[in-house]
Structure 1
Amino acid sequence: MKEKINNDRRDILTKAAAVATVVATGGISNNINAQPQNIASNASKEESKHIPIPKQAPAKEGVLSLSGGAGLYYWDTGGEGPAVVLSHPGRGSALTWPYQQPVFAKAGFRTIAYSRRGYFGSPAGSKNDTGNYADDLNALVEHLKVDKFHILGLAAGGFAVSDYLVSYPEKLLSMTIVCSLFGLWDKNIDERLDFILPKSFSDLPPEFKELGPSYRWAHPEGVKEWLEMEKKSRGDGVRHGQKAKNSITWEKIRAAKVPTFFIAGGADLYQPPSMMRAAAREIPGSETLVVAEAGHAIQWEQPTLFNSVVMAFFKKHS
């Protein structure tokens, strides 16, 4: 039965992937100025089946101690393949990736995820010693003896990714930014958020802000699982905030010359596809993809498609 469900899901998402690549800039392409040749839509009347959270691959867990009583909880599947580090959103933690962990590991990637200070399993430490995104992550990869790796940041996780990119570019094989606009402030891009996000937006339920409406309607069981993950990810609630090690600019990002892949959800309220395309235009050679119907949590809503395109990008740059 489980195999049939997965096959049904795979068939539907294969069609959705074809749609997504058209809705994006003419496909998963490094030609960011390309225009779609035609408009396609998913004409199927069938709804994809809910995919239960899969059994996780064996992984080493630990907490890396940092100064001021802080620490970073992490899990690491190990292995000799290329390393991948996953940077979680503000509504998540190292627990954000149950659909990726076993799939990436089976594909031969050494997959690592961690919780930033104050999130699940990671003590916040002293408010007078908050460290920074880049040095925290670098301490972790050095502790795990990882020399070079692919990095993927989802939503607020993109802040840590961009800080690491400009601080330690020589250690990155590639960078994937999902539903995020790095940790920089761009007047021409960020000021437009005032037009699309009302002041009351922050008061809305997290599942409404994070998950696309199609997913919430079709998969209430998945919404429940996501809410359980989100609640657990909050940790003990103590969080002091954190800053970047460096100022982030488009010039510094371009200078790093790291292969870059942007992924946006077609139904993302925070970071719409048009915002992703504006960012992609700043990085020559970057690749883009819009996933139809997905909200701010593509890795949860459409994991089969997400895993497929992300692993293909990793393999191309390993």
Structure 2
Amino acid sequence: MTRTTWTSWPSREALSGTSRTRPRRVITWSVRAALLTAMLWGTFSGGRFGPWEIVLGLVGVLGCAFAAWAFFRTSLEHRLWPSLGLLALLMLAAFGAQQAGADLPALILWCGSAVAAPERLPLTAGLPATAVALGAYAAVNTDGWFSTAMSTAGLSLAGYVLRLDAEARGNAQRLLAQERAARAAEAETAALNERARIAREIHDVLAHSLSAQLVHLEAARLLIEREPAGEFRDQVLERVVAARSMAREGLAETRQALSALRGEVSQVEDFLRQLMAAEPTQVSVAGERRTLTAEASQTVGGWRRRP
């Protein structure tokens, strides 16, 4: 193992459990509920404890459940010292339960702490905590030395195996998210390329045609202005000037549409300046400067040119 392996936390994807399937989560919570029920029944059903002792025991169980939940939250947030403090609190609760004669809850707390420490903490902190929990478990276990050694080794491996399993699922979830992001980026790139191709075709055909039309209309206007004044000349000149204005506006709208297709953005001030140039208007701009999207730019530009 490298130094990073010993000191690094499990990923948040692994600790959160979001990568677990729903049936697996249902099975996990069902097993926990069954163990809790069996522990409570095995502890308090023998008549060894009085009513007040049972009440105190239930309060202790609720406190341990809250401490375990808090340990899961702090370890998910990668907070080492609060996690170690909560783990130590659970071990102290196990010691208190063992002193009170509740051996089964004490064993469950010690074994759970031994498994959870390497699963959810950096190994440099989790392995010593596991050693303390398993040492306490071995000290109070009444089985033979061989079964105690085997169960201790099994619990030690269980936490690390669960850690590896959670890391594998977290990595798979992270890779899946990266693959989805890559596919979305690829689709967006393909859409932008297609829009750029359409913009080039429009520019090559329509924009050039409008530009050529403007040149011819301007030439026609200059030729008509050289003719002698008259009603027919004025009418023709008016039509040519109107056609030139419409062609210029069409070219501007085409360029605006091309900018939108290319994904280019325009500032609000640009439209305000164009509006001020077209109409005798006084405009005061205040506040934070914002950038319009390409679609919004085209909409504002179209509204500005609307008669």
TM range, smaller chain: under 0.3
Larger relative helix fraction: 2
Q: TM-score, normalised on structure 1?
A: 0.21
Q: TM-score, normalised on structure 2?
A: 0.21
**Greater Rg by CA:** 2
Higher relative contact order (CA 8 A, sep 6+): 1
Larger relative strand fraction: 1
